[in-house]
Structures are given as structure tokens and as C-alpha cells.
Structure 1
Amino acid sequence: MSRFRVVRPVPLAPEETWRRLTDWPAHGRQVPLTRTRVLTPGPSRTGTRFTARTGLGPLGFDDPMEVVRWEPPRGDRPGVCRLEKYGRLVRGWAEIEVAAAPGGSRVVWTEELSVRGLPRAFDGVLARAGRVVFGRALDGLLGVSAPGGRPGPDSSNGLSS
């Protein structure tokens, strides 16, 4: 399994940051060749299921996920959302943390995933690619950018594999 982390300071209130990060269809608009379809009616909560479909035409793969922890930020308490990925090709989890910080909030996106058929020797490459793709997606969702358009210096925290 490959693990990576992306950290962003955000000049938005934690509640607004949370709202943007948990807009599941918006995630699909930030990742190339991807669209996201929410399968569970109503507002997001524990048990919400959605699928990110990445590909071109019939060539692609589904990344089905379920929200297994849903704790929006309240006051000084940080928010945490945990997603479990249970697809045939991609498995693992992602955890989104949103906390109040000076000037807005701080986001920590941690993800651990494996791709079926991909040898462990590629975990480092997968982690680097994940930091870039999810760093850009976070920047787009939040309307911010890291210096130089790259994931910020606090992106890996030694969690590359």
C-alpha cells in the first residue's frame, strides 16, 4: 500500500473549507478524465456512497467509496471525514481533516491506497503521483494554490509508502 499526505493552509473558515471538500461531484471536476456520481440521496453523512469514474469512453475504471466517519468541524473541534475505497482496481482509504488555523483553516488529506496488479516497488511513484493529483484537486476545490503550482513543502511528511 502507498500512503501520502497533502497539507494546505486555507484562507477560508473551517465550515466553508469542509463544505467545499465534501462536495463529491466537485472532486470529479478537479481530477482529469473523472466524474463523480453520488449514489446515496440526501446530504453527506456516514454511509454516503459515491463512485469516481476515471477514463475515456468505455476505457476506464470505477473508484467506489463510502463515508465511514463524518464529523464536521464545530467551534474549536476539527472536522474529520474518512472514506473507504472498495473497488476492484483501487482499494484503501482517505481521511480529510479540517481544523481552525490563524487566518482560516488547515487541511490535511491523508490517503493510503493500492492498485490491483501494481507491484509494491511502485509505491513511491504512486505516492508522488497521488500528492500531485490530490494536491491540485485540493487547490482547485479550495480556490488556492501552492507556491509554484506544486504541492506545498508540507505535503509528504515522510508518508510516501
Structure 2
Amino acid sequence: MTPFRIGRAVPLPPEEVWRRLTDWPAHGRRMPLTRTSVLTPGANRVGTRFTARTGIGRLAFDDPMEVTRWEPPAGGRPGVCRLEKTGRLVRGWAVIEVAGLPGGGSRVGWTEELSVRGLPRFLDPVPAAAGRLLFGRALDGLLRG
């Protein structure tokens, strides 16, 4: 597994950035050929589960995830959300961090580590590079609203 990290600084307050980045169905609208379904009713919290289904018809796969850490930003404290990916094809984790910046705005960090079943380890940099590109575009779209 090769981790990758994406960072952004935006003029939005941390609470708004958090709301946008933890809107799981919105992630599906920003990723190509992906639809995200939340499986756990109610507000986001530790234990919230959702699945991103990517592909077309029979040529699709599920990427189930569960929130294992949920600490929204509040009172000047940064927010952290950790997701565990538990699929048969894609496994790993993601951490979303949101912190306020002096003078306003927010800093966003998105770190992810992916393992694709059947992919030889020497090719690990390939999903990391693809992840940086795809997740970077999705992150930009989510932050634009």
C-alpha cells in the first residue's frame, strides 16, 4: 500500500468545509462513474457506514467504508474523520483533517492508503498517483460546493 496526501487552503470556515467533506453522497457525485449510498440512518458519527459503487453495470465494484473516528472542528480545535475501507477489491483507510487558519479560512488534509486486491506490490505507486488525481479533483469539487 502506498499512501498519498492532498492538501488545500480555502477561504471557507472549518465548519462549512467539514460539512461539505463529510457529505458522503456528494463524494459520489464528484467521482467519475460513482454513486455513494449511506447505509446507516441518522447523522454522521463513529459507526456510520456507506458504500461507493464505481463502474457501469456488471463492470462495477463496491467500496464499503465505515467512519471509525469522528471529531468535527469546534472551538478552534481541528476536525478529524477516519474511514476504514473494508471491500473485497479495495482496502485501506482515509483521514480527512480540517483546521482553521489564522485570519480566517481553513486548511484541509486528505490522506489515504489503498490496496487493490490482485495488484502486485511493485505497482502500488499506480493507485497512489491515480488517487491523488481523482481525489484531488473530487476534493476541489466538494470545496466549491
Is TM more than 0.5 here?
A: yes
Q: CA deviation at 1:127?
A: 0.9
- Cα shift readout 1:61-111 (whole Å, capped 9, x = no counterpart): 000000000000002100000000000000000000000014300000000
Q: Which residue of 1 aligns with 2:88?
A: 88
- Please say if 1:137 is aligned against 2:142: no
Match of 1:26, SS? helix
Q: Which residue of 1 aligns with 2:26?
A: 26
Q: CA deviation at 1:121?
A: 1.2
Query: TM-score scaled by structure 1?
Result: 0.87
Distance 2:29 2:132 in 1: 17
Q: Which residue of 1 aligns with 2:63?
A: 63
Unmatched segments (≥5 aa) in structure 1: 145-161
User: Aligned pairs, how many?
Assistant: 144
Query: TM-score scaled by structure 2?
Result: 0.97
Distance 2:57 2:126 in 1: 26
RMSD: 1.0
Q: Quote the sequence identity (%).
A: 77
- Please say if 1:10 is aligned against 2:13: no
Q: Which runs of 4+ in 1 moved over 3 A?
A: none
Distance 2:127 2:28 in 1: 19
Distance 1:59 1:113 in 2: 20
Amino acid at match of 1:120: R
Distance 1:101 1:52 in 2: 31
Match of 1:108, SS? strand
Unmatched segments (≥5 aa) in structure 2: none
Q: Which residue of 2 aligns with 1:121?
A: 122
Distance 1:21 1:34 in 2: 16
Distance 2:69 2:86 in 1: 15
Amino acid at match of 2:98: V
Distance 2:125 2:67 in 1: 26
